[in-house]
Amino acid sequence: MKRTFKYALTAVLGIGLVAPAFAQTDNFPDVPENHWAYEALARLKKDGLLVGYPDGLFRGPRPASRYELAVAIHAVYTNLRNVTDGLQSQVDALKNAGDSKADIQALREQIAALQAQVNALKGYGDDIANLKKLADTFQNELHALGVDVDQLKKDLGDLARRVTALEAKKPAVDISGDANFFLVASNSKDNTPGLSKDGRIEGLLLNKSGGNISGTPTTGLDRDYSLLHEIAVTFAGTNTTGPQWKGTIVYGNALSNLGDESTAATLNGSGSRVGTPYTDTGSAGFYVQDFSVKFATSVAGLGFNVDAGRIGYKVGPYLLQRQSPNSYYSTSRLDNGEYYLDGANLSFNLLGGKVDVFGGRTSNQLSSDGININPLQSGGFGGPLSNAVLGIDRTLGVDVSAPITSAGNLKVAYLWLDSSPLTATGQFPVFGTTASQANRLEVYGGTLDFALGVIKLEGDYSKSNLKLNNNTVNDKDSDVWSAKASYSNSKYGIYGFYREVGANFMAPGDWGRIGILRNPTNIKGETFGGNINLSGSLVLRADYEHEQGKDTFAGNLSGFNSSTKLDKYDVSLGYKFNSNLDLTVGYEDDKFTGSPLSGIGDPHYKWTTFGIGYGLSDAAKLTLQYELSDVDNEFVTGVSRYKGGLLTSQLSIKF
């Protein structure tokens, strides 16, 4: 019976996936909107495949009888026949099309619609096979319903052959992508500009060249706004054997105006974008996000896979992971945490685990208008080397992951990150007050995690060594370790987290934000948080972080010493009206005490956020967010008070 239920579930879920998209429809009253099967059941009901019981309920937990399953099988079969019969009708109509201009335009539209439906049919193969098995299993019940089972089996066999033929006919190149349109507008409050979470100034009146008007007068949303756009197109080969290739080309003005705000120069407050307003005055340009070829080969009997070209790679938050370039503009390409390098990754299996050996050039990846699309630099804010920025030109790494029992995983990595000389005579970057020079950063560490039912345990350790060639410049107080425990079920989840980050830890990772400062170092502390489903549509999330400085350094300009403490509260409430519309409200409060910087006081950041997300279709979504900032004694840009607002809106369309 378990096997029979598996077939039935596969068929029902399969037809749910290929049923036509719907905007909004009534569902069974006893199925909550946050249930994992809500949308699939709504599609099935809309298409007449599920009708429920006479009282209108679905009664999901109740076991289905064999006759009820037989009725569902016949409904699925009838629906599938209607789809294929409809395709034949469209084909016949195309054969009889006229030759007038109007007929030709109508013909093009019908061909496009037909192609879309044919492409959808290519995924029916497994569903048809499962439906045939169900017909055998429930043959007697289908006979009792008056169904010609022999004809049903014959039709399913014909459909299977037609789908197999369709799958063999596919284009040589698959084209997909996304387009994003981003509006950012800001306003001042009480004649005081605001400050975003990226350290960008809000509500300043700009001139046409993007600079501030003399006196930097404050203004409102109608005068301080920018419009950004970006379209990315991915081309991929569709062959299933031999080398496989893909590449993504991007065009727009988002890169030149938002840039990569995760660079170390920005992290330590010296970047050109910190303290500047948003603009749309930068030029639009093209760039290649990635382009690579994958193939399998072997050397000395060892088989491995090669991914060569411009490839994306990440290891982990304390080793190698790119921060999202902007807190308000979001795309999967930029938020996947990957750095892109011009090189290769060799991957092979060893003793039940996986080994990646990757390397390549990570500098001079420029757009057509000269913007670096992927700056890789050492990072960290909080210790005596806070102003140390090592631009990485070449990367080489070994990344190993392996299972530890059936419940655990171990991941370890070692990276060599090299920098080219600043001058032709061989001068390398200068660090700190001792005028030390360095041209290499070695980073290594690992992660161990175990899943014990609903409880998950995780530990991390990483270390960075700064070198000049093979000579160590600094390896003191340059490690990080953390431990985390979490528990989750369908109603709520909680976690606890403790970490210590050395003052001189410099890995190019992504391990958090405090105020506008990213990747804090010279800290130790704990974080607690969780989420709870207050109802089927209402979710509350809350986090509390307490950090304090680890050590005291004379002349430290970062604002983190042993006397420094931080208390951070982050709370959000999300409400889902339906499958298309959701609302969020959030509040973040980051308060420092004991700042060692004279004349600055204790920084205090407060942001209140209101957001709306609306799904226009399966392929398009519109988001709208307004954020109020209230920042006191900000110690990076040197202004004592910021109060303003930031309005952002993003339209994302996938194709």
Averaged pLDDT, 367-382: 80
In this structure, the number of other CB atoms found within 10 A of the CB of residue 247 comes to 17
- Read off the pLDDT of each residue in 9-17 and give the average, rounded to a whole number: 38
For residue range 124-154, list pLDDT tens digits in order: 555 566 666 666 766 776 667 666 767 767 7
Per-residue pLDDT of 150-200, as tens digits, reads: 776 777 677 667 666 666 666 788 999 999 999 999 999 988 889 999 888
- The fold of the 174-408+516-654 domain, in CATH, is Porin (2.40.160)
Higher pLDDT, 17 or 288: 288
- pTM across the whole model: 0.73
Position 297, amino acid: T
| Dist CA 228 CA 651 (whole Å) | 11
pLDDT tens digits, one per residue of 593-632: 887 665 667 889 999 999 999 999 989 999 999 999 999 8
Kindly report, as residue ranges, where domains of CATH 2.40.160 are found in the chain. 174-408+516-654
Between CA 320 and CA 360 the distance in angstroms is 14
At 425-438, the pLDDT tens digits run 777 777 655 567 88
Across the range 8-35, mean pLDDT stands at: 48
pLDDT at 208: 47
Please tell me the distance from the alpha carbon of residue 277 to that of residue 284, in angstroms, as a whole number.
Answer: 19
Calpha distance 419→415 (Å, rounded)? 13
Residue 16: closest CA among 35, 44, 36, 38: 44
Q: Which residues neighbour 165 within 8 Å (Cβ) at sequence distance 6 or greater?
A: none
pLDDT at residue 96, as a whole number: 56
- What confidence tier does 201 reach under pLDDT thresholds 50, 70, 90? confident
Residue 265 has pLDDT above 70, yes or no: no
DSSP letter, residue 192: B
More confident residue, 31 or 301: 301
**Of 57-66, 256-265, 397-406, where does the model show the most confidence?**
397-406
Q: What are phi and psi of 156, to 5 degrees?
A: -65, -35
Is pLDDT of 114 > 70? no
Contacts of 208 (CB under 8 A, 6+ apart): 281
**What is the DSSP secondary structure assignment for residue 76, as one 8-state letter?**
H
What's the pLDDT score for residue 375? 86
- Contacts of residue 40, defined as CB under 8 A and 6 or more positions apart, other chains included, come to 12, 13, 16, 17
To the nearest whole percent, how much of the chain has pLDDT over 90? 39
pLDDT value at residue 459: 96
Q: How confident is the model at residue 360 (pLDDT cuts 50, 70, 90)?
A: very high
pLDDT of res. 551: 84
> 152: closest CA among 162, 143, 164?
143
User: What pLDDT sits at residue 529?
Assistant: 97
Q: Contact 81/74 with Cβ under 8 angstroms?
A: no
426 compared with 267, residue with greater pLDDT? 426
Q: What is the helix (H) or strand (E) element at residue 27, kind and residue range?
A: none
Average of per-residue pLDDT across 340-354: 92
Of the candidates 572, 507, 573, 517, which has an alpha carbon nearest to the alpha carbon of residue 547?
A: 517
When mean pLDDT is compared across 413-427, 439-453, 498-512, the lowest value belongs to 413-427
10 Å CB burial of residue 376 (0-12, 13-18, 19+) is: buried
Per-residue pLDDT for 18 more than 60? no
Encode 455-471: b = buried (16+ Cβ within 10 Å), e = exposed.
Answer: ebebebbbbbbbbeeee
- Tell me the longest C-alpha to C-alpha distance in the chain: 91
SS3 69: helix
pLDDT value, residue 559:
58
Tell me the C-alpha distance between 219 and 51, whole Å: 58
Averaged pLDDT for residues 247-274: 65
Cα 186 from Cα 195, distance rounded (Å): 10
pLDDT confidence bin for 20, thresholds 50/70/90 = very low
In the chain, % helix, strand, coil (3-state, to 5) comes to 20, 40, 40
